[in-house]
Chain A
Amino acid sequence: MSTTRRRVVATAAVTLTGALLLASCGSSDSGSPDGGTLKLWHYEGPDSAMGVAWNEAIKEFERTHPGVKVKFEEKGFEQIQKTAPMVLNSNDAPDLMEYNKGNATAGLLSKQGLLTDLTAEAAKRGWDKKLSAGVRTTSQYDTNGVMGSGKWYGVPNYAEYTMVFYNKDLFKKYGVAEPTTLDQLTAAMDTFVSKGITPLADAGAEYVAQQYLYQLALSRADRSWVDRYELYKGRTDFHDAAWTYAATTFADWVKKGYISKKSTSLKAEDAGVSFIQGKSPILFSGSWWYGRFQAESKFDWGTFLWPGSNLTLGSGGNLWVVPKGARNKDLAYDFIDITMSRKIQNLLGNKGGVPVGADTAAITDPKAKTLIADFNTLSGKDGLAFYPDWPVAGFYDVLVSETQKLITGSEKPDAYLSALQTAYDKGAPKT
């Protein structure tokens, strides 16, 4: 090859490679506000209550904003969860994004200045009036990224809470009445065990097991206990009466056969399917199962709140957040406003979601009515106690791992609580 020709090829190779590298490293989609496009990301399944409602909101937005196009990108929960900080630091940030609530997620991003302060907008558009205190907690974050006070960085348009799902047909078959007290629930579980049926659907490899435990603790707790644990308003002692009761009762329930030892490796999906298939008569879990059970269960089922407890797991749903670098913030606020409208909230309610601003008269489905009525009861008594994994980043994995040991019996309740204490103290901000 001649020297000149070789030089040309070399230059071409370097240029091409350089271009490829640049393309892989940087963004090509930078620019100024265009006002003609709303770039929107969310991760709700298209058939879920939220997915249906947000799709309708997109149509409504395009109808009320002629000339503006919604560029919706469907993302996965993990995708947004794991890459949000990088995306929000780049020029590719959307105008509006669904994001998980809590200190380690929205709180962390707000602390780093990656989210837009929505306080003025929330007051101007009346979002602050529409959300109850329990739901609003996850919208506001202080300068340390701790939820419950400070500026508004996100807006939830729905809520979620846990309840006891029970198989009415199986209860009837074994002559068990719907329990209204914890003693009756325990007696019902004894009956099922005596018939060779494990009463509680459980999943040790995911959130289900830790939610039983937290609910047991909540049944012996009050708001100040939750505030200490979740909002760091005072010291959390895992060897206090509530946590000790929860851990010992849970271990006892495994021994008694209410919870299967073999549930250690099961995922939440397994627990849900076990209920849907009529193998487990009881599942304690969240409102996110409601639509699925309605669609897939072939038996009569009902729900009730955990007996004898003022508090249960629950919160506002995922948040709409506006990235700091969003180009079309006003359009994003308009879209949030539409999702808060009666029309969209009623649709959400009728599809099995828990709306935060629906007209109860417009909810026609009887099961959806019960779901919303129970939520209103909870909300009215300030009963949403969030989730056990929220206070410390990575606490979810600790809870899964330690609760698995409690199920297999390889760890005693006291050691279990000590392990939680160590992980919590290591991760929680010093009070």
Chain B
Amino acid sequence: MTATVERGGQVVRRHHGRAAHPRRPRSSYALFLLPGVLAFLAVVVVPFLMNTGVSFTDWQGVGSPKWSGLANYRELMDDSEFWASFRHSLFMVVAMAAVPTALGLVLAAALFDFVGKHFGTRIAAVLRACFYLPQVLPIAVAGIVWSWILAPDNGSLNALLKAVGLGSLQQDWLGDPDLALYSVMGVMVWVQIGFPLVVFMAGLQRVDPQLYEAAELDGAGWWRRFAHITLPQIRPEIYVVLLWCTIAALKVFGAVYVLTKGGPGGATDVPSYFSFTTFFEKTQVGYGAAISTVLTVIILVLALVGLKFQTRAEDAEEGLRA
């Protein structure tokens, strides 16, 4: 099926379906997959299986591992520190997936719709790049800079609050156990926001402008256009971003390592950092392997559920179009 759409004087042809080219035998493509499959086996599957194997042992990282069966997993079930770290992960999902996706949507629509139209696409592109900058910065660098900003005595955030007469709001952002997790979440929102923004702006490029024009002619305001055109049209991008960011949130490590090292008093500990300290500081390699196995399985399940959900939604959309 081929659809023709007129966009800004240009004619864009879209091909739906796979009938445009003669089908080649599948075996001829399999060869191209081979290096990727081998590399995947070597760097993902085999290490994962080895890690799973180690998780059934009581091993210190050197010498011969001693088989301990499910002991590590039983210990994990009763480990309050592990479950606390998982609760913190849920907070991270809010900070790294939910909030950036929501904010990214509004910002992308605003840049695309408002800034792009009134101030030019170049200004919109510059602003987009600014929002994306934290994604380019190594997390170690960003973390160190934020630890300066959030420092209790001479940090710039507290200095700024004091300078504008809000000295009473000064806090020990990373040192107060009631605040530290929210501070780290704030930093992660800043780090993440650029990714959904860029994906959504790219998604908006492919939305048919005639839809907006028609809606505008019908008297729909910005918010109604956003809710009834933008959101449904870029739903695939939203799924991808949510899935990607949720996975990133579940395995977040660098920011916690640089900003708080899981402290104060374990208030910001997350599973990957917990696994790291168990592996390398406590040299309980078997137990650390059990933590990472559980973490991997959870991420895998979430990813598969997310993909299934996305595929089903896409199929439904295709069905509607057809």
A interface with B by C-beta (< 8 Å): 1, 6, 9-10, 13-14, 16-18, 20-21, 24-25, 81-82, 85-86, 88-89, 104, 108-109, 111-114, 204-205, 260-266, 270, 393-394, 396-397, 400-402, 404-405, 407-408, 410-411, 427
Residues on A with C-beta less than 8 A from B177 are 404-405, 408, 410
Main SS of the interface on chain B? loop
Which of A1, A265, A394, A401 has a CB less than 8 Å from the CB of B278?
Answer: A394
Q: Is B61 an interface residue (CB 8 A)?
A: yes
User: Which 5 residue pairs spanning A and B have beta carbons closest together?
Assistant: A394-B282, A264-B175, A265-B175, A262-B152, A404-B264
Segment at the A interface, from B33-41, B85-93, B228-236 = B33-41
Instruction: Kindly state the separation between the CA atoms of A81 and B279 in the bound complex, as whole angstroms.
Output: 12
A13 B282 Cβ-Cβ under 8 A: no
Q: Specify which chain A residues have a CB less than 8 angstroms from the CB of B283 in the assembled complex.
A: 104, 108, 393-394
Whether A108 contacts B265 by the Cβ 8 Å rule is no
User: Assuming the A-B contacts A13-B31, A394-B277, are A108 and B60 also in contact, with contact meaning beta carbons closer than 8 angstroms in the complex?
Assistant: yes
- Residue of B63, B261, B263, B284 most packed against chain A (CB within 10 A): B263
With contact pairs A21-B38, A394-B277, A394-B284 given, residues A410 and B265 touching in the complex (Cβ less than 8 Å): yes
User: Which residues in A have their C-beta under 8 angstroms from that of B39?
Assistant: 17, 20-21
Residue of B nearest to A405 (CB): B265
CB <8 Å contact, B264 and A264:
yes
B34 with A17: CB separation less than 8 A: yes
Instruction: Name the residue of chain A whose CB is nearest to the CB of B174.
Output: A265
User: How many angstroms between the C-alpha atoms of A108 and B60 in the bound complex?
Assistant: 9
Contact A9 B31 (CB under 8 A): yes
Q: How many A-B residue pairs have CB under 8 A?
A: 123
Interchain CB contact under 8 A, A114 and B62: yes
Asked if A265 and B34 make an inter-chain contact with CB atoms under 8 angstroms apart, the answer reads no
For window 261-280 of chain B, which residues contact chain A by CB distance below 8 Å?
A: 261-266, 277-278, 280
Chain B residues whose CB sits within 8 angstroms of the CB of A260 once the complex forms? 152-153
Q: Assess the A204–B62 pair: CB atoms within 8 A.
A: no
Establish whether residues A14 and B264, one from each chain, have CB atoms under 8 Å apart when the complex forms.
no
- Please determine whether B31 and A408 come into contact, CB atoms closer than 8 angstroms: no
Q: Known A1-B28, A104-B283; judge A112-B265 contact (CB<8 A).
A: no
0/1 interface trace, chain B 70-83, chain A, CB 8 Å (1 if under): 00000000000000
Task: Tell me if A204 and B264 are in contact (CB < 8 A).
Answer: yes
- Chain B contacts to A: CB under 8 angstroms: 28, 31, 34-35, 38-39, 42-43, 60-63, 147, 151-153, 172-177, 180, 260-266, 277-278, 280-284
B-chain residues with CB within 8 Å of residue A82 when the two chains form the complex:
280
**B153 x A262 contact (CB < 8 A):** yes
Say whether, besides A89-B62, A114-B62, A263-B175, A401 and B38 are in contact (CB < 8 Å). no
Q: Which residues of A contact B284 (CB under 8 A)?
A: 393-394
Identify the closest chain A residue to B266 (Cβ): A401
Roughly how many angstroms separate A406 CA and B231 CA in the complex, as a whole number?
Answer: 49
Docked complex Cα distance between A266 and B147 (Å): 9
Instruction: Look across to chain A and name the residue whose beta carbon is closest to the beta carbon of B60.
Output: A108
A13 close to B34 (CB less than 8 A) = yes
Measured in the bound complex, the distance between the Cα atoms of B265 and A204 in whole Å is 10
Q: Do A17 and B35 have beta carbons less than 8 Å apart?
A: yes
A354 CA / B278 CA spacing, docked (Å): 33
* Pair A6/B266 contact, Cβ less than 8 Å: no
Q: Say whether B282 contacts A262, CB under 8 Å.
A: no
Most buried by A among B34, B172, B262: B172
